[in-house]
Amino acid sequence: MDDCLFCKIVKGEIPSKKVYEDEKVYAFYDIEPAAPVHFLVIPKEHIMSSCGEVTEENSAIIGYIYQVIAKLARELKLDKGYRVVTNCGEDAGQTVQHIHFHVLAGGPLGKMA
């Protein structure tokens, strides 16, 4: 999608600090980290704007992203745990309309809001 920030990051039009990439997903460090380790995992294709658009037809990528997160957590030695967050819609504070999974780690994360 032309005016999507994360599509521009995938295309390299906006710089990012890459954590991981394959044919389906891209992972990069969040520009405003909310934890000592904070990266985002996104589908490369603009498959859906938010988790509110997940359907039977397009949901396979969600399971795949969780597989990638588990692999990255092992590689980055997030042995003491991590949190995966997806903000969905306005009240959750979603600011970028390209589905994404925050991975937060690197110390005690406190309780969820």
Sites of contact with Zn ion (CB under 5 A)? 1, 4, 6-7, 46, 98
Chain residues binding ligand AMP by CB under 6 A are 5, 14, 16, 28, 30-32, 87, 93-96
User: Which lies closer to ligand AMP via its Cβ, residue 3 or residue 79?
Assistant: 3
Residues 6+ apart with CB under 8 A from 71: none
Question: What's the rounded Cα separation, in Å, for the pair 9 and 113?
Answer: 29
50 binds, among Zn ion, ligand AMP, none (CB under 5 to 8 A by kind): none
Q: Is 100 a catalytic residue?
A: yes
Tokens of 57: 């037809």
Tokens of 3: 């005016």
